[in-house]
Structure 1
Amino acid sequence: MTGATGGPGPWGPAPGDPGALERALQQVAPERWEAYEHLLRTLAEGRVWMLLWHGSPGSPDAQYGNMEIGGLGYAPAATSPEQLAASGWSRAHEVISGREIAATLHRTRWGLWLNPHAPGGGVGVPWADLRRVAAGLDRLPAGPLQLSEPQLPGTEPFFGLLQHQAPSVRPVRALRRAWVRPVLGDPYLAIGLELYDTSPPAVEAVRALMQRAIAQAPAGLAVSTVAMSDDYDPVALWMRANARPFYHREATPAPYPTGYGYPHGQPQPQPQPGWPAPPWLGR
């Protein structure tokens, strides 16, 4: 480590057991999804030693190191001062909490690669999982996700009510659907919401629409909503590319509101790339 400099980043060191992240890392193996989830939880509460290719910790010109695996970008990090020393990194480094680096990297679709110098090459955490770390692991489904068109008996009243009442809810432009099977946890029906307006009154009107429809859903069916405007949600990305709207205002015969500031006749957005492939590298 001759010539290396480093120190806490602008958020300071994270609390917790300094060896917990390394112990969690040692348990990760292919198909051991529970162990990987434990690693993500530990990362959220821990800290990492980010390798700086340029600049000093906390400086505006600081740049993390980078590596490309399978066409996807990752920023390398060490999990302890000992691992940093073992890496032989001779430039500066920055100590930062796992939650903060996750929030920083996922917005630019960069993943985090832990201990790439270690035997076996370390473990990569894709940007979609960093998004979960930043937002809360319990709030977003655990990937990899199996996504498909829903084939669910008894849902005709649910979808029928949405199609019938959506024209009267002015903020709704289009509705899509997907059946989501997380690698851990129960499957659920996702409804993709494409809205003209996301103001609080508009969101409340859409929430009321969904509540009325859910009352018609089969007992025990879990239903979640996804904002189609979210460029980081893998379910929304899949629906953009693969699911045709089951309701679209421009394709709906009159009557529907006009002259209230909601544009009509706009071209339908082109499908965007879905979940990056391969999404679960370094495992």
Structure 2
Amino acid sequence: MNGTVAGGAPGWGQPPAARPAADPAAIERALRDVAPERWEAYENLLRALAEGQVWMLLWHGTPGSPDAQYGNMDIGGHGYAPAVTSPEQLTASGWARGHEVISGLEVANALYRTRWGLWLNPHVPGGGIGVPWADLRRIAAGLDRLPAGPLQLGEPQVQAPQFYAVLEQQASEVRPLRSLRRAWVQPALGEPYLAIGLDLYDTSPPAVEAARALVQRAAAHAPEGLAVSTVLMADDYDPVAMWLRACARPFFDRDAWQGHPTR
């Protein structure tokens, strides 16, 4: 741990008031169950964190001061801000600088935007547990709204010719739509699904709604049981969008379209 800034205490002034945890011991109980490949136990930890609170370790400043800054842990080239899960763990850590009590939801919302994760109880035997920024984003957005990682991503193998035909035929009529891409997503928990990446010239709410309505109409022609979702290509924090930008070729591209969509 060192003094590199991890984004600063949320608020950069008066920190948000900490919400009382629904169950103060829930995070620590969930931590005891987390182990490699035990994704349901890890999901329980995320739920406890979303409803609870943590004690963020301040490398510099005090809660409420303009120069308050979280500490920094570099794990495998990724940055994490250290925290402990109770007053008892704070005492056990021997941390002699300041700290800030904040809800898990609030710190998740603050950290993921700068791609910082949260490391819980780094002082305990074994080194504690890290929550990557992508999972903090899920907490901030709502755990039920985003797929549970780690995600397995690849080219779709499912055959859905009518679905794609409707998409390609109608895509040119949706003026804000630049291109469409696709990926097969297998979450750590839950059923796999087909993700359609929406690359838009205009990301205003009416433009996004028009593009999503296109996919919804086409989904009526998808094979029975096929789950279809959309992702905005402009979302710099969405792992599916990041994969699509890096690995997937558009199956509709307005800029290359000359009477027929690209294949």
TM score, norm. by length of structure 2: 0.91
1:79 paired residue among 69, 78, 85: 85
1:161 paired residue among 166, 169, 179: 166
Q: What does residue 12 of structure 1 align with?
A: 18
Partner of 1:60: 66
1:223 aligns with 2:239: no
Q: Deviation at 1:59?
A: 2.1
- Check the 8 A contact 2:153/2:186 in 1, yes or no: yes
Checking the alignment, whether the CA contact within 8 Å between 1:13 and 1:95 is kept in structure 2 is no
Name the CA distance, whole Å, in 2 between partners of 1:201 and 1:16. Answer: 38
Q: Which amino acid aligns with 1:173?
A: R
Map of 1:255-274 to 2, 5 A cutoff? none
Tell me, in whole angstroms, the C-alpha distance in 2 between the residues paired with 1:91 and 1:63: 11
SS in 1 for 2:144: coil
- RMSD of aligned Cα (Å): 1.5
Alpha-carbon distance between aligned partners in 2 of 1:163 and 1:239, rounded to the nearest angstrom: 18
The answer as to 2:128 corresponding to 1:122 is yes
User: Mean alpha-carbon deviation: is it higher for 139-148 or for 207-216?
Assistant: 207-216
Specify the alignment match of 1:195 in structure 2.
Answer: 200
CA distance in 1, matches of 2:248, 2:137: 23
Q: 2:137 corresponds to which residue?
A: 131
SS in 2 for 1:168: coil
Structure 2: 5+ residue stretches without partners: 1-13
1:107 corresponds to:
113
Q: Which residue of 2 aligns with 1:262?
A: none
TM-score, normalisation: structure 1 = 0.85
Percent identity, aligned pairs only, is: 73
1:35 aligns with 2:31: no
* Cα pair 2:212 2:230 within 8 Å, conserved: no
Aligned residues between the structures: 248
Deviation at 1:255, TM superposition (A): 8.9
* Equivalent in the alignment of 1:271: none
Rounded Cα–Cα distance in structure 1 between residues aligned with 2:101 and 2:75 = 24
State how far apart, in whole Å, the 1-side matches of 2:225 and 2:201 are: 31
C-alpha contact (below 8 Å) 1:9/1:95 kept by paired residues: no
Query: More relative contact order in 1 or in 2 (CA 8 Å, sep 6+)?
Result: 1
Structure 1 Cα separation of the partners of residues 209 and 19 of structure 2? 40
Mapped contact 2:18–2:53 kept (Cα < 8 A):
no
Distance in 2 between residues matched to 1:164 and 1:12, nearest whole Å = 52
Q: Which amino acid aligns with 1:176?
A: R
Task: Quote how far apart the aligned CAs of 1:199 are.
Answer: 2.6
d(CA) in 2 for partners of 1:82, 1:208: 51
Q: Deviations over 1:161-207 (max 9, x none)?
A: 11111111111101000000001000000000001112333233223
User: For 2:55 and 2:206, how far apart are their aligned partners in 1?
Assistant: 44
Distance 1:255 1:72 in 2: 44
Residue aligning to 1:177: 182
2:51 matched residue in structure 1: 45
Aligned counterparts of 2:16 and 2:73: Cα–Cα separation in 1: 24
